[in-house]
Structure formats: structure tokens, C-alpha cells
Amino acid sequence: MGNALTFLYGKCCKPTTTDESLAPHSVSASTVGVSALAHDLFNFENTSQVPQGLGRYVQSSRKAQAKWYRKILEAWKQAKPPPQTAEEATRLVTEVLQRNQKADVEGLLSFYGLPLPHTLVEHSTQGAPVSLPEGILFEFQTLPACVMENKVDPKAVADGDTITVYVSTSEPVVASSVPKEVNLAAVQRAKAREQRNYPKADELHQKIIDSGYRVLNIKNEEVLARKFRIRLKGIDAPESQMPFGKESQQGLLKIVQWKSLKVLVYGEDQYGRCLGDLYCNGIFVQEEMLKKGLAWHYIACDKRTVLAKWEKEARQKRIGLWASSNPEKPWDWRKNNRRE
């Protein structure tokens, strides 16, 4: 068994069941997607058998299906690293089976609950700018996003255009502005924990939190960090109470969770949030949100033509919120639902 497949199988796969009533292909919800495909490739290498139920999704014979799995298995083992997201798995399968019938390829992807090729987002290759663009006041790197007590904190993403992040006080943009009382409370808290005086430590931590800071455990090291609320510049996502609001919020959470983010800050809005461009592993987050149909271009506040271009691409594909013929604009919704 190749190292690439062994790695993924060992980390995230569970045995499939023979109950074909479970969606989409006799596996539980926890194994649908990348891990389900990895499991079936592992099983195919050992038994030469394709999964039961696949024939309901594709037109070709089981002999042809075996050829697909043999090709996908070889490509998977050669991939370094192997696919770890649904999008990466779709790209690999699509490339390997590019000469096969479209209906078969899409049927195979649907069998695993993987995104179809036309829904994938092509990212710009430029990544985050090397030098600060015009209008940027400063930049900073965040600690892993949406993580609290080593767990994903979904509340960190209020909706599809607003996120709460924490920045280490060792970052230059933060270091010089940390109040003395916060630094002192952090030192006293550490001493209290050494003495196992946890009530005192908790009391001091609450004082730190009330000042807009927090002590986070990052890789078993305690880090004093400042809290920032970021409003993604140039996009406007559905409010949480609107149709597609939950999907937009979950879309942003999926992009940023556990990731260290680069934030380019233009200034503050009337709510004290930093207006900024967000980059995640070199991907421009606003681009991702627009191309996936998870937000509108907020043209009233940002005239960048490339944002309009990305929104148009999603509209043409009718993906995300554009699957609806006439989705309500969030700025109209806010106007109509403003409290008296």
C-alpha cells in the first residue's frame, strides 16, 4: 500500500457498512467524501472490487468501473500530498477520467458526495501581495482562526463577511499597544496556575478578556493575543436570518478554520471592525466567497472591478445563492428589517 493512501486512510477513514440505505453509497455521514473514496481505493487495492451501489449512479459496466479505480488509485498514491479536501479529490478524479463520459464522471463524484467540476473555483495565481497596496494602513498574521480550547469555534464567524480573530501580542502591529495592566495580569495568571490557584487564574483571565485580549493555548504553548473583528472589504453576505445566510456563514468557516490568516487592513467601520482583505494559504478569501456564490460584491463600498467579475462568474454558473432566480440583497434586507 502506498504511503500517500496509507496516510489518508489511517487518519480519517472508517470501515464502510453493507447497508445500502445509507447515503450516498453505503457509508455513514462521517465517511462520505474524501475519506470514503480513500477507503474504497484501499479496499479495491486489496480485493479488486468496486463498491456496491455505484451502478445506480453510473452507466458503464463494473469492468469499466474497475479500470477507473485502478487509474484513480495510481494517481492517488503518486499525489504528494494526497487529496485532503473534497475539491482536491474532485480535481484528481476529473483529471484522471477526463476521457470518460461526462455522465459517468459526475455520477462517480455524486456517489461520494463530492462537488461537480463546474462548481469548482479557479483561484487567482498571484496570492497575497508582496508589498502593501494603496490604501492599506497595516497588516498582521493571525493565530489559527476559529479555534478555542483546541476546538473549532463556529461563533467566531458571525456571517459570511465577518470574522473574529486573535493576533499574538508578539506581532509588531500589536506589541507596542498592549496595556500594562494586561501584561501584568497575564504574568500573575501564569504564576497562579503554577501554584494551582485556578480560581485566581480564571479571575485574572476574565480581566484580560474584558480588556479585549485572551490567553490561548497554541501547540501546548500559552500565547497572549489581542482580539480583532474583521469585516471582509468589498463583499456583503446574506445576514444570518436571511435565506442562504447559514450556508454563507458555514462557507467562510470552512475556508478559514484552523488556518493562520493574513489580514490587510484599510481602516475601521462604524462598528469598530477592521475593514480588510483576508488571505488564507495564499488564497484571497473574498475571491473564494464570490466565486462560490456565497456573497455579493458590495459595490457601494468597494469599486474594484475584479470583485464584480468574480460575482458575475458565480451568477453565470448559478451556484450558491445564485441558484435562486432573484435572491434578496442583504442591504435591501437590512433596510426593510431595520428596528424601529
* Cβ atoms of residues 260 and 141 within 8 Å: yes
Beta-bridge mates of residue 232: 276
Distance CA 184, CA 182 (A): 5
CA distances 247 to 76, 118, 131, 217, Å, are 30, 19, 34, 29
Q: Which residues contact 292 (CB under 8 A, 6 or more apart)?
A: 119, 121, 251, 314, 319, 320
Residue 268 is a catalytic residue: no
Q: Which residue in 218, 51, 28, 30 sits closest to 141, CA to CA?
A: 218
Burial of 114 (0-12, 13-18, 19+ CB in 10 A): buried
User: Which cell goes with 308?
Assistant: 464584480
* Cβ atoms of residues 238 and 252 within 8 Å: no
Residue 222 is a catalytic residue: no
User: Which cell goes with 215?
Assistant: 490567553
User: Which cell goes with 251?
Assistant: 462557507
Q: Which residue in 256, 260, 266 sits closest to 234, CA to CA?
A: 266
Residue 273 is a catalytic residue: yes
Q: Point out the catalytic residue in the list 239, 287, 288, 311.
A: 239
Q: Point out the catalytic residue in the list 226, 231, 288, 311.
A: 231
Give helix then strand counts, H and E, for the chain: 12, 12
Q: Point out the catalytic residue in the list 273, 287, 288, 311.
A: 273
Annotated catalytic sites, by residue?
Answer: 231, 239, 273
